[in-house]
Amino acid sequence: MAFIAVLAIIFTECGILLGLILPGDSLLFITGMFIASEQIKVNIWLAIALIAIAAIVGNLVGFWLGRKMGPPLFRRPNSRIFKQEYVERTHNFFDKHGARAIILARFVPIVRTLITATAGIAGMPFRIFAVNSAIGGVLWAGLLTGAGYKLGHNETIKSHIELFTLGIVILSLIPVGFEFMKARKHNAQNLL
């Protein structure tokens, strides 16, 4: 059941704008650690394949959403989660790196979620998007889940997996905390 939740979160983070708040990178790493410690009972190769598929399918859905509904959605005002700054950052990333941005974005939180819709809005040819999404999805799932699996075999990590998991979650929340504090400071300055 936990592994199905992992797949649902990865799908959501990679393709649906609700994924902006989900911790995909740390989740893959932790999943690999849990598979190594047998707390999640799935073959590592099957897990990597299914995670890659969830990420790729999520991207394809995000691309379609961008193509069909993107422009009005991306003109929305700022909210606590969705910010125009994220859209601009993603557009710049996409413009700078072109088609390979789809691969590189897998490893950049927030950009990973927004670039799929941005590619759809920008009219990127579907075939180019799909190929680069597949390459990125396989690399992302393999590298991060595989690294967690490899480290999960370490006896120290294995015997303190809950502590390491908590540490990874805390580390993944640090950038979110910085963004939150930056936004509060910016809002406070605008009130003055």
Q: Global pTM? A: 0.74
Specify the residue for token string 């303190």: 160
Q: What pLDDT, on a 0 to 100 scale, did the predictor assign at position 27?
A: 85
Out of 62-71, 91-100, 122-131, 162-171, the most confident range is: 122-131
> Which element (helix H / strand E) includes 174?
helix 161-191
**Cα–Cα nearest to 6, from 43, 55, 65:** 55
- How many CB atoms neighbour CB 96 within 10 A? 10
- Six token digits for residue 117: 């819709």
Q: Where are the domains of the chain?
A: 2-187
Q: Are residues 112 and 106 in contact, defined by beta-carbon separation less than 8 angstroms?
A: yes
Instruction: Look over the chain and give the mean of its residue pLDDT values, rounded to a whole number.
Output: 79
User: Looking only at Cα atoms, what is the longest distance across the chain?
Assistant: 56
> DSSP assignment, residue 77?
P
